[in-house]
Structure 1
Amino acid sequence: MDRLINTVRPYAWGSTTAIPEFLGAAPTGEPQAELWMGAHPGAPSHVDRGSGAQPLSELIDADPEGELGPDAVAAFGPRLPFLLKLLAAASPLSLQVHPDLSQAREGFADEESRGVPLEAGHRNYKDPQHKPELICALTPFEGLCGFRHASRTADLLDALDVDGLKPYADILRAGPESDALREVLTAVLTADRDEMARTVAEAARAARHLAGGSPTARAGATAAATDGARPEAPAYGEELEARAYAAYASLADHYPGDPGVIAAMLFNYVRLQPGEALYLGAGVPHAYLAGLGVEIMANSDNVLRCGLTPKHVDVPELLRIVRFESGAPEVLRPVADAEGEQQYEVPTDDFRLSRYLLSPAGEPRRLDDRTPQILLCADGRAVLRKAADGGGELTLERGQSAYVQAGESVEASGDGTLFRATVAV
């Protein structure tokens, strides 16, 4: 067991208070967006095994099978295939999408063959890996995820009553749906910038009015904004609809004139409650808007952006990667096994996220030792003990994390919430 020394990334969209509060540290006054836990070369965690702090990436490079286990190395190569993060968004992240594995390999090989520098601002593929990801809310968490049904989006655009949006609503009603979604997204991202800026400003004013207006003023638009509303909570639809309009208006405040504001209106607005999660697979457009969560992803930097950013937007490549499929996003809740491990079930092997709700009255939880693990205490405290020889103990308070190499048998006890990140082999 190794206590992790982690790096905070100070991206501009980060909260100035959420991560410091979680870690029990004083705010610096600067944004603190992400706390990275893993072996990503951009900011690897460090561990100290008695000879000073060393990057986890170097320890793995020196002995891949000893650290990761033969099964993980056979499946993913001599690298930790996931990155665990604590993510704190105070303002919206860019609208983005990630490639699948074959697209990433093809795109990376193409840019390598053309000599595009890895650090170039217009480079799309930084590595030949895919980047599925999962976000699990620690506080109420807002985001955009996947295309809303075209007819419902047309209703939403009509409710805004903005002349520049009416052609898009007409296209969305004409179908077939996937073709209509592609045509509208393409039109939005390639529109005249000055004309689009005016449309964004008008749409933002209308969205702000609808967000704060009466239910009567919002009549006819509720169904458009509430794909995936939970039927067990009848009042949730109207509340979610108002929040969706407020989110679109907020996007325009942060990114005035950006075509991504209109593109965002094509996507489902989602509000997660603590413990709920979203899985974001290849080709699914998404953006995180606000909140604190635990994020786990495949260890890749491949991102194609479609708005809400000053960074490079490669529209043709983006359109090649996006999956123009509509539907309500699936909100995941953990499924517990007989041993009390609550797992978020996802269709990828690169990572596996689960949690334990530890209780002083409960039996210690023995963790599977076949694969490498990163353990994060998200609440209370967790006590880790080596199960094999009774020797070694490590206590994690909220915000603290540990790395457990493959083959090291560990038991967890305590009175808190412990997240467990590993791989499936």
Structure 2
Amino acid sequence: MYPILPVQKRYAWGSHTRLQAMFGLPEGPGVDADGVRSDTLAEMWFSGHAQSASTILLPDGAQRSLTQAIRSDPMGMVGAEDSQTFGPVLPYLFKIISARIPLSLQVHPLDFEARAGYNRENAAGLSIGDPERSFKDTLAKNEMVVALEPFTASVGFAPISTQLQILRVVDHPVAQRMADALLARSFHRSVTPEGFERADAMMPVSALAWPDSRRRVFRAFHTAITAPPVDPDELTPALLDADRRISSRKAHDAMANALQAAQAFPGDPAVLALLMLNAVCLEEGESVYIPTGTPHAYIHGAAAEIMTNSDNVLRAGMTPKHKDLANFLRSLDCQPASPIDPSSSMIATLAMHNMVTYRPHISEYMLVYGRVEPGSAAWPLMGRIAHRYGDLVQRFGPRRLLVPQGGPRILVCTEGSVCARCQKQEMTLNHGQALFIRSDDGPVDVLRAEPGSTALDGLPAVGYGSFLLASTPR
């Protein structure tokens, strides 16, 4: 087990206090690994990504890049199974994030689009660090978010009837044009409704097999992200007036997300695209899984985020960064669908006395969120999980859930103190500290730290704590 130091990412949307408090960092301006100076802290990366690798601390006091350490000893660091499947790399990227204002409206590219885009930009001579570059690696990115506090987002397309219900009451020309696009039926794929020729020209080749409903969603979304800047003194009042006139909770949540985005990005018509998406409101311990191609925007809150080892992001609005509409639209999944959460068949959530495990049906990662306390008192979070996912918890619990006993694991203490114990050694972490656990460390128990014992930072531990454990599935 090695102490691991996260890479700080200081983006404009980050928090002034949340991550600073969790990781024991001073508030105020700082410089991240890319040399960006900012008084916000947005993400803490526990990473084996080539462009932003974390540092591990070796027993002799030396520091080493996690990517270098894995390449020099892949069998010991990540294990034979993961080495054979993924190569000498960490197959996931694990982050703690905190959004003070909304993030960009984005999708992650499909796997073949990621490979093609990466090779295309290399051939064009764009450096990896070029701000105009969209594809930083060849991998698709599927990601999962677990809320550490109330967390809001917009994820995937809502039913068309819900989209229309909201857009029709927004008295703004772009919103009305979006509603027109949703209503403009075409019974022949070769026929484009008048005025939407530009949108149809940007549809991917796969659109030849789309049903008409999906093509209408594409045209409406295209209308929002390609519209010229609008007068914020017209857009915000239109959203506020519409919010007063709608009655459904889902519509109010979607409108709240759009209003927050309109305040953060005045005059950007792309905020209207959020009215087409599912509003997601997570409480602590609740989760959402975001496959490639799913449009989404994180709005507010702190969360754990884990994904395939990719930094590919295609943006379409709500950002000062590079927008790549053509590639965004080529990867866009226009199928309306409910957000994928742990109660669905796509992701298995197993709950026990003090630990919840989130495991999507992919081979790169899983995540555990747990708590250790004195005595046998149940973690209050478990009551909320049981209330929301009652049938699932009843089906799988109570029972002992075995944490993966091999493979590369990253343990982060998010509150209080925890103790990590394997056959070879034992280490105590205070909040904000983390360990990289080698595959050959074998089984590791996460236990209550003895009050007063010394943690990695030299400070005394307390007798309770929360933790996150990222790993590959076993």
Instruction: Give secondary structure in 2 for the equivalent of 1:116.
Output: coil
Match of 1:75 among 85, 94, 104: 85
Name the counterpart of 2:97.
Answer: 87
How far apart are 1:357 and its partner, in Å?
3.1
Name the counterpart of 1:314.
Answer: 324
Structure 1: which amino acid aligns with 2:281?
Answer: R
CA displacement, residues 372-421 of structure 1 (integer Å, 9 cap, x when unaligned): 100112233211112x3xx5211122222111000212222113322111
Q: How does 1:268-347 map to 2 (within 5 A)?
A: 268-332=278-342, 335-336=349-350, 342-347=356-361
Instruction: Give secondary structure in 2 for the equivalent of 1:264.
Output: helix
| 8 Å CA contact retained: 1:339, 1:365 | no
Calculate the TM-score normalised by the size of structure 1: 0.86
Between 1 and 2, higher relative CO (CA 8 Å, sep ≥ 6) is seen in 1
Q: Percent identity?
A: 30
Pairwise CA RMSD of aligned residues?
2.4
Name the counterpart of 2:9.
Answer: 9
How far apart are 1:274 and its partner, in Å?
0.5
How far apart are 1:323 and its partner, in Å?
0.7
| 8 Å CA contact retained: 1:305, 1:313 | yes
Match of 1:178 among 199, 207, 214: 214
Q: For residues 147 and 353 of structure 2, what CA distance do their matches in structure 1 show?
A: 23
Structure 1: which amino acid aligns with 2:314?
Answer: L
How far apart are 1:276 and its partner, in Å?
0.5
Query: Are residues 1:385 and 2:427 paired?
Result: no
How far apart are 1:3 and its partner, in Å?
1.6
Q: Which moved more, 1:23-32 or 1:335-344?
A: 335-344
| 8 Å CA contact retained: 1:37, 1:45 | yes
Structure 2: which amino acid aligns with 1:374?
Answer: I
Q: Which moved more, 1:68-77 or 1:395-404?
A: 395-404
Q: How does 1:187-206 map to 2 (within 5 A)?
A: 187-191=223-227, 193=228, 196-198=229-231, 201-206=233-238
Q: How does 1:235-274 map to 2 (within 5 A)?
A: 237=249, 241-274=251-284
| 8 Å CA contact retained: 1:145, 1:269 | yes
CA displacement, residues 220-265 of structure 1 (integer Å, 9 cap, x when unaligned): xx2xxxxxxxxxxxxxx2xx54343232122122112223212222
Query: Are residues 1:350 and 2:364 paired?
Result: yes
Instruction: Give secondary structure in 2 for the equivalent of 1:310.
Output: coil
Match of 1:218 among 240, 246, 260: 246
| 8 Å CA contact retained: 1:67, 1:406 | yes
| 8 Å CA contact retained: 1:344, 1:354 | yes
How far apart are 1:306 and its partner, in Å?
0.9
| 8 Å CA contact retained: 1:157, 1:169 | yes
CA displacement, residues 111-168 of structure 1 (integer Å, 9 cap, x when unaligned): 2233333233332211111111111101100111011112211110111222442232
Q: How does 1:93-242 map to 2 (within 5 A)?
A: 93-175=103-185, 176-191=212-227, 193=228, 196-198=229-231, 201-211=233-243, 213=244, 217-219=245-247, 222=248, 237=249, 241-242=251-252
Q: For residues 404 and 172 of structure 2, what CA distance do their matches in structure 1 show?
A: 56
Query: Are residues 1:417 and 2:463 paired?
Result: no
Name the counterpart of 1:403.
Answer: 436
Q: Which moved more, 1:54-63 or 1:35-44?
A: 35-44
Structure 2: which amino acid aligns with 1:267?
Answer: L
Q: For residues 93 and 406 of structure 1, what CA distance do their matches in structure 2 show?
A: 35
Change (3 A) 1:206 1:2: same
Name the counterpart of 2:457.
Answer: none
Q: For residues 119 and 134 of structure 1, what CA distance do their matches in structure 2 show?
A: 25
Mark the runs of 5 or more structure 2 residues left unpaired by the alignment: 30-38, 186-211, 377-399, 449-463
Q: For residues 7 and 171 of structure 1, what CA distance do their matches in structure 2 show?
A: 43
| 8 Å CA contact retained: 2:255, 2:275 | no
Structure 2: which amino acid aligns with 1:41?
Answer: A
| 8 Å CA contact retained: 1:373, 1:406 | yes
Change (3 A) 1:280 1:365: closer
Structure 2: which amino acid aligns with 1:179?
Answer: R
Structure 2: which amino acid aligns with 1:75?
Answer: T
Q: For residues 65 and 16 of structure 1, what CA distance do their matches in structure 2 show?
A: 40
| 8 Å CA contact retained: 1:353, 1:421 | yes
Structure 2: which amino acid aligns with 1:132?
Answer: N
Instruction: Give secondary structure in 2 for the equivalent of 1:335.
Output: strand
Q: For residues 413 and 401 of structure 2, what CA distance do their matches in structure 1 show?
A: 14
- Give the aligned length: 396
Name the counterpart of 1:232.
Answer: none
Q: For residues 264 and 243 of structure 1, what CA distance do their matches in structure 2 show?
A: 10
Q: For residues 34 and 287 of structure 1, what CA distance do their matches in structure 2 show?
A: 15
Change (3 A) 1:337 1:165: closer
Q: For residues 9 and 62 of structure 1, what CA distance do their matches in structure 2 show?
A: 27
Q: For residues 73 and 164 of structure 1, what CA distance do their matches in structure 2 show?
A: 50
Match of 2:410 among 368, 374, 379: 374
How far apart are 1:95 and its partner, in Å?
0.6
| 8 Å CA contact retained: 1:367, 1:412 | no
| 8 Å CA contact retained: 2:153, 2:257 | no
How far apart are 1:308 and its partner, in Å?
0.6
Name the counterpart of 2:64.
Answer: 54
CA displacement, residues 20-48 of structure 1 (integer Å, 9 cap, x when unaligned): 12224432251011111122233322222
Change (3 A) 1:148 1:113: same
Q: For residues 274 and 404 of structure 2, what CA distance do their matches in structure 1 show?
A: 41
Q: For residues 117 and 42 of structure 1, what CA distance do their matches in structure 2 show?
A: 12
Q: For residues 174 and 311 of structure 1, what CA distance do their matches in structure 2 show?
A: 33
Structure 1: which amino acid aligns with 2:412?
Answer: L
CA displacement, residues 176-235 of structure 1 (integer Å, 9 cap, x when unaligned): 3201011112223333x2xx414x653321222344x4xxx334xx2xxxxxxxxxxxxx
Instruction: Give secondary structure in 1 for the equivalent of 2:176.
Output: helix
Instruction: Give secondary structure in 1 for the equivalent of 2:98.
Output: strand
Structure 2: which amino acid aligns with 1:395?
Answer: T
Q: For residues 54 and 472 of structure 2, what CA distance do their matches in structure 1 show?
A: 18
Name the counterpart of 2:194.
Answer: none
